[in-house]
C-alpha cells in the first residue's frame, strides 16, 4: 500500500463517514468506496484508459497529458514541472511545443491548490449525483452544500507531491494492461495482437508489473 492509499484509508474515509452522518444521517458504503477509489487516482492521474488505441500510442498520449496536467498544477512553470516529473526540462519543452500548450495561459489560471480542490470537489459531486435518486432531497442538498468544505478538508489531508513521470507511466501501464486482458479473458496472445505488442514484450511487461493474466479469465 503506497502513501496515498494509506492516507485515504486511514484519514479520508473517516472524513467521508463523518460528512455522511452529519448531512445524510447514514453512511453509504458504496458512496464512500466510490469517492475513495477515485481519490486514489491523484488529480494528475485521473485519466481514461482507451484500449482501442495501440499501447505505444496510448502511452505517448498519456505522457503528454501528464506533462500538460503537471504544467497546469505548476501554473505553467516548466522548470517546476520537470523537477516534479524528474525529467530534463528540455523534454518538457519538446512536449509543450508538440502539443502547442499555452504556458502563458496556464500561468494565469488556477494555483495547484485551487486546481486540486476543484478536482476533489468534482469527484464528490459526481459520486453524489449517482446516488441522488435514492437520497432524501433535503439531505442530498445538505451534503451538496457541504461538499466544498469537505473537499477543503480532504485537500488539507492528502499528500501534496504528485507522482513522477516514471511512477505515472507505471500506473498507466498497469491499468491499460489489466483492462485489455479483461477484454480478452486473460489471453495474452490475443491481447498482444490487439494492442500492437509482441507476445514476448507483453509477457515481460506483465511479469515486471506483477500482473497475473489468469485473474482476468
What tens digit of pLDDT does each residue of 129-161 get?
A: 999 998 899 999 999 999 999 998 998 887 766
Q: What pTM, to 2 d.p., does this model score?
A: 0.68
- The Cα 62–Cα 58 span in angstroms is 6
Q: Where is the domain boundary, 131, 157, 183?
A: 157
For the chain, give the mean pLDDT: 88
Q: Are 70 and 81 in contact (CB under 8 A)?
A: yes
The whole domain housing 192 covers 165-216
109 and 210 share one domain: no
Rounded average pLDDT over 17-27: 91
pLDDT bracket for residue 18 (50, 70, 90) = very high
209 and 129 share one domain: no
Q: Are 6 and 30 in contact (CB under 8 A)?
A: no
Nearest Cα to Cα of residue 9 among 121, 158, 125, 124 = 158
Quick check: 1 pLDDT over 60? no
What pLDDT shows up at residue 113?
Answer: 67
What pLDDT shows up at residue 107?
Answer: 74
- How many structural domains compose the chain? 2
Amino acid at each position: 500500500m503506497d502513501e496515498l492509499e494509506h492516507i485515504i484509508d486511514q484519514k479520508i474515509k473517516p472524513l467521508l463517514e463523518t460528512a455522511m452522518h452529519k448531512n445524510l444521517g447514514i453512511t453509504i458504503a458504496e458512496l464512500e468506496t466510490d469517492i475513495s477509489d477515485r481519490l486514489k487516482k491523484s488529480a494528475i492521474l485521473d485519466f481514461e484508459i482507451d484500449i482501442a488505441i495501440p499501447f505505444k500510442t496510448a502511452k505517448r498520449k498519456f505522457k503528454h497529458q501528464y506533462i500538460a496536467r503537471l504544467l497546469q498544477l505548476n501554473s505553467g512553470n516548466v522548470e517546476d514541472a520537470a523537477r516534479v516529473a524528474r525529467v530534463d526540462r528540455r523534454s518538457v519543452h519538446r512536449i509543450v511545443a508538440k502539443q502547442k500548450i499555452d504556458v502563458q495561459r496556464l500561468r494565469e489560471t488556477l494555483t495547484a491548490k485551487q486546481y486540486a480542490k476543484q478536482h476533489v470537489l468534482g469527484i464528490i459531486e459526481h459520486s453524489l449525483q449517482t446516488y441522488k435518486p435514492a437520497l432524501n432531497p433535503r439531505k442530498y442538498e445538505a451534503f451538496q452544500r457541504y461538499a466544498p468544505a469537505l473537499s477543503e478538508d480532504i485537500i488539507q489531508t492528502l499528500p501534496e507531491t504528485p507522482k513522477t513521470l516514471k511512477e505515472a507511466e507505471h500506473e498507466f501501464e498497469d491499468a491499460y494492461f489489466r483492462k485489455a486482458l479483461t477484454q480478452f479473458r486473460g489471453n495474452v496472445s490475443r491481447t498482444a495482437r490487439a494492442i500492437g505488442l509482441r507476445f514476448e514484450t507483453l509477457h515481460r511487461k506483465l511479469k515486471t508489473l506483477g500482473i497475473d493474466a489468469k485473474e482476468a479469465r
